[in-house]
Amino acid sequence: MEPIDLPPAGPALAPDHITCVECLGRCYRLRPAPPEGDEPGDWVAYRCPDCADRFDLQIPEHDTEA
């Protein structure tokens, strides 16, 4: 996988990395955010390189009440 080093352009709703709740390491996204940004309701998977744990975050839905 190529390293991603892009400025935050789109409405990326999920962080590029999160803190591992197991070992307090840094978990990186298994897939980079799409150019158009994450979709609310999408699941984003993270992998911790330290303890190999996987975490899935769901993009919170916007308040879509019309």
Summarize as ranges the residues that interact with Zn ion (CB under 5 A).
Answer: 20, 22-23, 25, 48, 50-51
- Nearest distance in Å: CB 47, Zn ion: 9
Of 38 and 46, nearer to Zn ion (C-beta) is: 46
Q: Which is nearer to Zn ion, 23 or 59 (CB)?
A: 23
Query: Of 39 and 50, which has the nearer Cβ to Zn ion?
Result: 50
Render 18-63 in DSSP notation, one character per residue: EE-TTTS-EEEESSPPPTT-PPTT-EEEEE-TTT--EEEEEPPPP-
Q: How many CA atoms lie within 13 A of 59 on its CB side?
A: 17
